[in-house]
Amino acid sequence: MASSLPTLPRVLPSSSSKPSSPFVKFISPTLKTTTSTSLIPSSISLSSRRTSSIIPRATASSSSEVSNSLAKTTFHGLCFVLKDNIDTDQIIPADKATIFPSNQQERDEIGSNALSGLPDSHKPRFVEPGEIKSKYSIIIAGENFGCGSSREHAPVCLGAAGVKAVVAQTYARIFFRNSVATGEVFPLESEVRVCDECTTGDTVTIELRDSGGLLSNHTTGKQYKLKAIGDAGPVIDAGGIFAYARKMGMIPSPSVA
């Protein structure tokens, strides 16, 4: 029966601090959006096959994790440095894709396997044997980070291992999209080849601004500008694709009691 099927916990970056509210304000699907950025699409009518106009959220408590505006977000921790073309099988070996992170136990399991696909010669390991989480909360990478599969296990395992943000030179598009959609890690882009100037274990801080961000390496004393998050910004800001769609009136939210 349906009740035996696993449900997924909602996970968003822990930097949020907004008070919880069980209900999201109802936005009529016919309202045209008024934001100024041209990239916000106008809402279009829902499929005629929909039988009910109000579809309740499965878990009311998930709205307690609405993220802050990007401008107030800061990450701080040790960084783990990788080079170019780190593909999804190195991030999470394909045989681990049977793990279905629907509960904390499987989430721990997938997190403990994060980046276990890196060659054995790569030291130090991202997650120490026997550990569940990594001591590195920020990943710094080169070009084409996350190339390969569309499996969300890639950003999910990083988030489960405790990664808050990735600063890469460039991303493979499906990985970038999945990071934004799941809210597991913030995918940020550097303007220069930061992976050549940082070393695994350096202490770094990332401060996000509306117009981009700043990566500060406290171990080397250097700072680097980060590119503005771009089109993904409003989706991340809203709290993921579902929250964004509700905000835009694409899918309804439960009305206030």
Partner 1 sequence: MAPQRSSSTTGSVKTGMTMTEKILSKAAEKSQVVPGDNIWVNVDVLMTHDVCGPGAFGIFKREFGEKAKVWDPEKIVVIPDHYIFTTDKRANRNVDIMREHCREQNIKYFYDITDLGDFRANPDYKGVCHVALAQEGHCRPGEVLLGTDSHTCTAGAFGQFATGIGNTDAGFVLGTGKILLKVPPTMRFILDGEMPSYLQAKDLILQIIGEISVAGATYKTMEFSGTTIESLTMEERMTLCNMVVEAGGKNGVIPADATTFNYVENRTSVPFEPVYSDGNASFVADYRFDVSKLEPVVAKPHSPDNRALARECKDVKIDRVYIGSCTGGKTEDFMAAAKLFHAAGKQVKVPTFLVPATQKVWMDVYALPVPGAGGKTCAQIFEEAGCDTPTNPSCGACLGGPADTYARLNEPQVCVSTTNRNFPGRMGHKEGQIYLASPYTAAASALTGHVTDPREFLQ
Which residues in this chain contact partner 1 in the complex, by CB under 8 A?
Answer: 1-8, 10, 39-41, 43-44, 46-47, 49-51, 55-59, 62, 85, 87, 89-90, 93-95, 97-100, 102, 117-120, 143-144, 147-152, 170, 172-174, 177-178, 181-182, 231, 235, 240-242, 244-245, 250-251
Is the separation of the CB atoms in 220 and 209 below 8 Å? no
**Residue number with CB closer to partner 1 (193 or 218):** 193
The nearest distance, CB 4 to partner 1, in angstroms, is 8
- Of 212 and 234, which CB lies nearer to partner 1 in the complex structure? 234
Return the number of the residue (146 or 162) whose C-beta is nearest partner 1. 146
Please state, in angstroms and rounded to a whole number, the distance separating the CA atoms of residues 147 and 91: 10
Rounded Cα distance, 104 and 26, in Å: 32
Between 27 and 241, name the residue whose CB sits nearer to partner 1: 241
Query: What is the torsion angle, in degrees rounded to the nearest 10, for the CA atoms of residue 61, residue 64, residue 66 and residue 67?
Result: -130
Query: What CA–CA distance (Å, rounded) separates 3 from 52?
Result: 21
What is the smallest separation between the CB atom of 212 and partner 1, expressed in angstroms? Answer: 19
Kindly tell me which of 80 and 176 has the beta carbon lying closer to partner 1. 176
Q: Is 16 exposed, middle or buried (0-12, 13-18, 19+ CB in 10 A)?
A: middle
CB of 161 to partner 1, least distance (A): 18
Q: Do residues 171 and 229 touch, judged by C-beta distance below 8 A?
A: no
Shortest Cβ distance from residue 138 to partner 1 (Å)? Answer: 22
DSSP state of 66: P
